[in-house]
Structure 1
Amino acid sequence: MNPTRMIQVASGKGGVGKTWFSVSLAHALAGAHRRVLLFDGDLGLANIDVQLGLSPRCDLGDVISGRVALEEAIATYRPQSMGGADAGGVFDILAGKSGSGVLSALTRPEIAGLASRLLALGDAYDHIVADLAAGLDQSVMSLCTVGGMTIVLVSDEPTSLTDAYAFVKLLTMQEPGADIRIVVNMVNDRDHARRTHAALTNACRNFLGINPPLIGFVPRDESVRDAIRHQTPILFRHPQAKASEAIQKIAREILALSAGNPRLPEKTAHPL
């Protein structure tokens, strides 16, 4: 499987902008003429549809209940220009179902089966971006064992770093050799991002024997809040914003990896 066919976005801690980042990354990849499916993998508190102002006819709950096939629950998001024409960056969405206890209570085999059904879409998509729930529960970890790349989004808050480390530790125990990469959100500048990344990777290197690389960072930008408030992707509403440029750069890094230029996480000599 292409190492970037499945891209899981995780955080460990909530409140670091994971859903916004997932939406923005999917839009950036679609804008680069890739076929993209954005999957709301937060099985208890899904909100991608809210961030995009959508009211999908079907959602993941309908798929799990057997009312519709997975393919039937996929909707297409088309950013519209002022004149009503498509503005580019069209991508598909499989919406979740917020507050559904049934979805959050799925067993590990059921979640693995759902992941397999996503991957079975095969050549329909170049990238499947999965916005995972915060935390370390069974649904999150099960969705991270299907291969591909896991992007861990962090901020410089101590709780974000400790929860991200806990997530990386559990994932590497469960899936040795997992392709884990770091994005630092809400930074002041490049040095701020590097210091935050170093704080996380020093612990990973010392205690886990791995060194997840920094794949990019996103600066603090009031345009992010404005885009979320208007339920519009930032690349559409504020294409020249600093945060938009950062997302585009991360998307280019992912496209370079998918083109066969992998930069796999470094490992030290001692075992986990």
Structure 2
Amino acid sequence: MAEKKEKVKTTEEEEGVLLYYKYANVPDLNDLLNFYNSNCESLGLRGRVRLASHGVNVTVGGKLSSLEQHINAVKLKNPLFEGTDFKLASCNFQSNQQILKECGFTSLSIRVVKELVTFGSRPLLNSPVISNAGRHLSAVEFNTVLQSAGASLANNGSIQKNNIILLDARNVYETRIGRFQTSKVETLDPKIRQYSDLCTWIDCHSEQLRGSNVLMYCTGGIRCEMASAYIRSKGAGYENTFQLFGGIQRYLEQFPDGGFFKGKNFVFDH
């Protein structure tokens, strides 16, 4: 009688996704470019890395251990990254080619660009200044405002229930699978096809935003930085624009049951 061979269990290393950005003056772009090319290639990372004279914007996927090594290398590389919010989560999507393609993880793209995120399909007379971006709200603060719909955020008094607007800074492909929802607060979904369309949408809906307390959110935070600065640049009536620090990902880490977010967080939840 032939002996039964015991099956050997093989454990594949868990995959993950990493998002982070940093607005800061980059003293040597070529040096930073060489670092990312060498580091990402050696660790087998795939995704998008955008470098500019004013900072970095990174979305990469790979083995969790490789992503952790990348974070450590980045921290050691330059004091430029001090205080950077690295958003890392497990995300086992490697077996699904469609998801890999949608998330941009089929190859590695590292480029030097003029803008970390392209805000506006046409040149702006006055580009928004990042230092004028909306005040960051922690996940807990953001949730508290939605829960009470009357918390005091503005300098000139309390926010009334009907004076809060939730504004999603993501594209329609992301908002259709998940977004914040609450009957207490008006939610605006621009339904844009790409981020560069948001500038025009804001211009067309500026009167709707005027005088309101605008709570913005996106996946990881970077799109809200530029968009909130643009809204605030419109002057009086637009001062009370806020953004969710760390984006949806940090919110879901704080509220694992989803809180006011319903559905999936694109990229992380695949």
- TM-score of the aligned structures, taking structure 2 as reference length: 0.27
Bigger CA radius of gyration: 2
Q: TM-score, normalised by structure 1?
A: 0.27
Which of structures 1 and 2 has the larger relative contact order (alpha carbons within 8 angstroms, sep 6+)? 1
The structure with more helix, counted as a fraction of residues = 1
